[in-house]
């Protein structure tokens, strides 16, 4: 319980999300996520999608956060590359 408090005390924007999901959801996120960004991602996702514990566990196990980050970075790189090509052509 103390670790839980100490983890989230410096992140007041996460406090509402922590309160809005069940204790079992919080424990799964707290114990299995390595970074605060990953914890924030799953906290918001669990609330927005109204995930059951089983579904949240499945998403964490399937590394949804990592896949999303990789996908977003690839998209960003593609957009930047296209913009550079357009600048060269102009």
For residue range 55-76, list pLDDT tens digits in order. Answer: 999 999 999 999 998 887 777 6
> What residues contact 58, with CB distance under 8 A and at least 6 apart?
none
- Say what the pLDDT of residue 10 is: 82
Q: What is the mean pLDDT of the chain?
A: 84
Check residue 16 and give its pLDDT. Answer: 84
Q: What is the pTM of this model?
A: 0.76
Of residues 87 and 57, more confidently modeled: 57
């Amino acid at each position: 319980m103390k670790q839980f408090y100490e983890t989230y005390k410096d992140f007041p924007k996460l406090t509402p999300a922590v309160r809005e999901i069940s204790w079992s959801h919080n424990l799964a996120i707290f114990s299995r996520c390595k970074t605060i960004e990953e914890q924030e991602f799953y906290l918001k996702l669990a609330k927005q999608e109204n995930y059951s514990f089983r579904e949240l566990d499945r998403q964490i196990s399937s590394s949804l956060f990592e896949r999303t980050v990789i996908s977003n970075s690839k998209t960003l790189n593609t957009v930047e590359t296209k913009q550079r090509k357009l600048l060269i052509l102009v």
